[in-house]
A and B are shown apart, each in its own frame.
Chain A
Amino acid sequence: MNDPYKVLGISPSATDDEVREAYRKLSMELHPDLHQASPLADIAEEKMKDLNNAFDEVMNLRRGGVSGDTGYGGGGSFSQSQSQSYGGQSYGSSQSAGDEGDNPYMQVRRMIRSGQVTAADSVLERPNLDRNGEWHFLKGSICYGRGWLNEAYGYFSKAVEMEPSNMEYNATLNQMNRARSGQMNGNPNPGPYRQGGAPMMGCSFCDMCQGMICADCCCECMGGDLIPCC
């Protein structure tokens, strides 16, 4: 049995607020939304469960072993039932519930989950399959698992385009869009002015404003006035 304080990464003398903060920080890294389509999603889910259990155990111990309110409401913020609901089962496919066995898309999903990626891909390449949103999403998942992220993005985008209301496709595309905008899971220095690295995308508005003010000052030194109101 893991030491719950070690799982949370804090010392046993931490305050309740520090415990909650540690839980919040780690749960943001392990949240299922951030590991959509990843081949390590099962490891993330397991770590999330361990984290929830550790948090519950610590809060229960501090309340003298009384179960119930653990600070974020019954059983931790991302309880067992919630984290399970992010698994492939709950989102399902665009097919109706109860379609099992001979449904090729469900077959492909099972193959992807068990790591039989090549077999899954050959099922998808069958000529009679309807190349709908589900097809594109599963094709994207196979590419993503293989590490072909650019191609995966193309397929996920197409899946969302074809079925814009599908939560699963949107969540996965959003995860990739977050990465595309420069966000990295667990980054201790997030934000547009994060320390380290020259900005790659060119000038931000602050850079432009700064530049204009400097230009205005230089202009005024020379007897002109670039920005009359400054």
Chain B
Amino acid sequence: MFGYIRPFKPQLKFCEYDVYQGVYCGLCKELGQVYGQSLRFTLSYDFAFLGILGLSLEPGHVELLKERCVAHPWKKTPCISCKGGGAPAISYAASSAVLSLWHKLSDDKNDRVKGVKGRLLNSGLVIASGFLGGTYKKAAAGNPELAEVMEGAMENQRRLEKSGEPSIDAASEPTALITAKLAEGLSSDSKTKRILYRMGQMLGRYIYITDALDDICKDEESGSYNPLLLIEGVRKPEGGVDRTLARETALSFFRFTMGELASAYVLLPVKRYKSILDNVIYQGLEHTFALVYQGKELPDERSL
């Protein structure tokens, strides 16, 4: 579920790349200071996007400083320093990352896995989520409404997967609700919240369909739920998956979602970083989906 919201690097200016990196850096430091050093290595760039989205709406002064980092101590890299207003976006994105990671681990734990490797991975996840328990409680205490929405949505997700829900709209709704709530929390203005909510909904739908297409072969083998597998003709009688049919369905779903995302985005009162947001929304998402559509590997969620 992580790693699908990325910029399109060839069209990202160097200064924009620095901002992206810098926000990730700022988030990483925040995670370390508030939630503990071990979580820093779990951070994906999706939350850097959330941070940038939040900062784009804030009027406060934001500057990039060169600072050292534990991941690469031999050189200084740009790191966001927020004075007068930008910091809430970073701390919010950090707690969102913790809450999301917790739910992802719980979700992965519940997925059916086969074989020794699968069972070892599962027990690893059980240990990791046990370890995270205290951190989750801290993040949830700081964002109780968000935590409650996420719990409810994950429960709905489990229920509809168990019942074999065929509608992709319905299947993507819990994810869409989570991302909608995450995005909405970036602003306190009522109109902006509505716009962010709608954008978040569409981003959640995008993540869901891209993940479903990415995992279609793996899910078919393991017998896990995937709404694309429930489309007539996708499962071949002799076994295996008709990927062409699945991806055409995913493509039209993706296009409708992108259209509505753009329609909401043009209403957002962006104060800075518009070119970065444009890059992700108009090019990055399509590029990532295209890679999945073509069955190619995606870069790691912890690299830009």
A residues near B (Cβ < 8 Å) are 29-30, 34-35, 38-40, 43-44, 47, 143, 147-151, 153, 175-176, 178-189, 194-201
Given contacts A40-B267, A43-B267, A195-B11, contact A184 B169 (CB under 8 A): no
Given contacts A34-B263, A197-B287, contact A147 B176 (CB under 8 A): yes
Complex CA gap A201/B281 in Å reads 19
A180: B residues at CB distance < 8 A: 252, 255-256, 259
Please pick, from B169, B173, B194, B263, the residue contacting A185 in the complex, using a CB distance under 8 A: B263
B167 within 8 Å of A (CB atoms): yes
> Which residue on chain B has the smallest CB distance to residue A144?
B260
A150 adjacent to B169 (CB under 8 Å) = yes
Given contacts A29-B266, A196-B11, contact A149 B257 (CB under 8 A): yes
Complex CA gap A178/B259 in Å reads 8
> Which residue on chain B has the smallest CB distance to residue A44?
B267
A150 adjacent to B194 (CB under 8 Å) = no
A200 adjacent to B251 (CB under 8 Å) = yes
B293 adjacent to A184 (CB under 8 Å) = no
A35: B residues at CB distance < 8 A: 263
A147 adjacent to B289 (CB under 8 Å) = no
- Report B257 CB to chain A, min CB distance, Å: 6
Given contacts A184-B259, A188-B278, contact A150 B191 (CB under 8 A): no
B237 within 8 Å of A (CB atoms): no
A179 adjacent to B169 (CB under 8 Å) = no
A30: B residues at CB distance < 8 A: 266-267
Complex CA gap A153/B259 in Å reads 13
Size of the chain B interface, CB-CB below 8 angstroms: 45
B168 within 8 Å of A (CB atoms): yes
B2 within 8 Å of A (CB atoms): no
- Chain B residues 248-298 with CB under 8 Å of chain A are 251-253, 255-267, 278-279, 281-284, 286-287, 289-291, 293-294
B residues near A (Cβ < 8 Å) are 8, 10-11, 167-170, 173, 176, 191, 194-195, 198, 201-202, 205, 251-253, 255-267, 278-279, 281-284, 286-287, 289-291, 293-294
Please pick, from A150, A184, A185, A198, the residue contacting B290 in the complex, using a CB distance under 8 A: A198
B262: A residues at CB distance < 8 A: 184-187
Given contacts A39-B194, A43-B195, A151-B169, contact A196 B263 (CB under 8 A): no
B283 adjacent to A197 (CB under 8 Å) = yes
- Report B193 CB to chain A, min CB distance, Å: 11
- Report A199 CB to chain B, min CB distance, Å: 8
Complex CA gap A161/B275 in Å reads 41
* Given contact pairs A44-B267, A185-B266, a sample of 13 additional A-B residue pairs in the complex whose CB atoms are under 8 Å apart: A40-B263, A43-B191, A148-B173, A149-B169, A182-B258, A184-B258, A184-B281, A194-B283, A196-B10, A196-B282, A196-B287, A198-B294, A200-B290
Please pick, from A47, A149, A151, the residue contacting B260 in the complex, using a CB distance under 8 A: A149
A183 adjacent to B191 (CB under 8 Å) = no
> Which residue on chain A has the smallest CB distance to residue B168?
A150
- Report B72 CB to chain A, min CB distance, Å: 28
A-B pairs, top 3 by smallest CB distance, nearest first, are A179-B259, A196-B283, A184-B262
A195: B residues at CB distance < 8 A: 11, 283
Candidate in B10, B11, B169 with the most chain A CB atoms within 10 angstroms: B169
> Which residue on chain B has the smallest CB distance to residue A46?
B191
Complex CA gap A178/B281 in Å reads 17
Q: What are 14 sample pairs from A and B whose C-beta atoms fall under 8 A apart?
A: A34-B263, A44-B263, A147-B176, A148-B169, A150-B168, A176-B259, A181-B255, A185-B266, A188-B278, A189-B283, A196-B284, A196-B287, A200-B251, A200-B290
B198 adjacent to A40 (CB under 8 Å) = yes
B278: A residues at CB distance < 8 A: 188
A194: B residues at CB distance < 8 A: 283
B259 adjacent to A183 (CB under 8 Å) = yes
- Report A200 CB to chain B, min CB distance, Å: 5
Complex CA gap A143/B194 in Å reads 17
Given contacts A196-B11, A197-B287, A197-B290, contact A179 B260 (CB under 8 A): yes
Candidate in B11, B198, B263, B283 with the most chain A CB atoms within 10 angstroms: B263
Given contacts A149-B169, A150-B169, contact A188 B256 (CB under 8 A): no
B283 adjacent to A150 (CB under 8 Å) = no
A38 adjacent to B169 (CB under 8 Å) = no
A149 adjacent to B256 (CB under 8 Å) = yes
